[in-house]
Amino acid sequence: MSKHQASARDLGIRFEGHLPSGPLNALTDVAGVKLGHVTLQGEGLATGVTAIIPGEGNLFRSKLRGAVDVINGFGKSAGLMQLAELGTLETPILLTNTLNVGTCTEALVRRALAENDDIGRSTGTVNALVCECNDGAISDIRALAVTQEHAAEALAKAAPGAFAQGAVGAGTGMTAFGFKAGIGTASRVMEIGGERFTLGVLVLANFGPAGQLMLPDGRRPHPKDLAEREQGSVIVILGTDLPLADRQLQRVAKRAGAGLARLGAFYGHGSGDLSVIFTTADRVEHDPATPFAPQRRLSDDLIDLAFRAAAEATQEAVLNALCHAPGTQGHSRYYPSLADWLKENQQ
């Protein structure tokens, strides 16, 4: 196991020609976004929960606008259908393993019920958003080890600022391209119309067959194992403070796929690949004071900058997930660290 993990940039990977990153190069560069992890390890477990709180205050009463793009729908997430239909996000986002989606969904529902006495009585129900990847290659996924208490703890730990990456939280048991992977993040800053905006990305990386990974310089790291089928998943969470209309949000979310493709992904039959996006601009009130509400939107003529930011930040976030994760023994094979490969193959 590696003694030290570092970011892709720290390990010599260059992102020349890319937009500038935010101060943390993280999803939390977007003001108001908080993140927390709970990690479960030992006794056959390598799993956990990662919580993203996308904005301040009561999200049910003051919703964030959002969208989803399902690149390949081999997945068991909760809440995506209503997000796609209504374009609003009304709970935090939880990431976990495939068989604990129900547990985390109930944790979010109970949190919303505690904050809003009218849910299910004088107003509608709540749409909890949970996304998953399968960590069964390393963890005992049948143990159903993640509890509602773990989900609540991850939410309570959520904070602004820098956070751990790699084999932590929901990423503890994840692998990608034959290497150990997990949680990764990156951000990009955009100057539009004399204003400064940020787009941040967080990934739960668990996809890509061995030998298919491509670095920005064209190298193809191989973990010295037989090629395997593409049957993992990747969840991409994009957050921004850029004012975007509903249709524009979905279009930006789609460009996360361009970042995955740069890495060598081809969205295999058994790979669940999706992106969720939210903006902190122009929130939607559950109880609007007026029949109409003003909303800013970016001119479509300028949206290419947001497309580029989404692709670039997604690519780097996955590489950060790989670089931060230490080599780990799975049930049937060892998953090495990309950080070790990079150190052994320095240019």
Residue 84 amino acid letter:
A
> How many CB atoms sit inside 10 A of residue 291's CB?
5
pLDDT digits (tens, 9 = 90+) for 18-43: 999 999 999 999 999 999 999 999 99
Tens digits of per-residue pLDDT, 315-338? 999 999 999 999 999 998 999 999
So which residues are the catalytic ones? 233, 271, 273
Report the relative pairing of strands 233-240 and 272-285 from DSSP bridges. parallel
Question: Residue 263 and residue 339: Cα distance in Å, rounded?
Answer: 16
How many percent of the chain have pLDDT more than 90?
92
Of residues 76, 19, 72, 80, the one with CA closest to residue 240 = 19
- Which pLDDT score is estimated for 1? 36
User: Is domain 18-286+298-338 classified as CATH 3.30.43.10?
Assistant: no
Beta bridge partners of 89: 64
Q: Is the pTM of this model over 0.75?
A: yes
How does pLDDT run across 58-109, given as a tens digit for each residue? 999 999 999 999 999 999 999 999 999 999 999 999 999 999 999 999 999 9
pLDDT at residue 229 in the model: 62
What is the token pair recorded at 275?
């992106």
Can you read off the two tokens belonging to residue 332?
């049937």
Q: What is the rounded CA–CA span in Å between residue 55 and residue 172?
A: 25
Instruction: Show the beta-strand stretches assigned E in the chain.
Output: 34-42, 45-53, 62-73, 88-89, 93-97, 129-133, 175-176, 179-180, 183-192, 195-206, 233-240, 272-285, 328-329, 334-335
Instruction: List the one residue out of 279, 321, 235, 296 whose CA is nearest residue 31.
Output: 279
Cα separation, 198 vs 328, in Å, equals 34
Question: How many other β-carbons are positioned within 10 Å of the β-carbon of residue 20?
Answer: 10
C-alpha distances in Å from residue 305, one per residue of 99, 263, 308: 37, 20, 5
Q: How far is CA 170 from the centre of its chain?
A: 10
The yes-or-no verdict on residue 223 having pLDDT over 90 is no
The string of pLDDT tens digits covering residues 147-176 is 999 999 999 999 999 999 999 999 999 999
Q: Nearest-CA neighbor of 132 among 157, 100, 163?
A: 100
CA distance from start to end of the chain: 22
Helices (H), the chain: 80-86, 101-115, 148-157, 246-254, 256-262, 304-324, 338-344
Domain extents for the chain?
Answer: 18-286+298-338
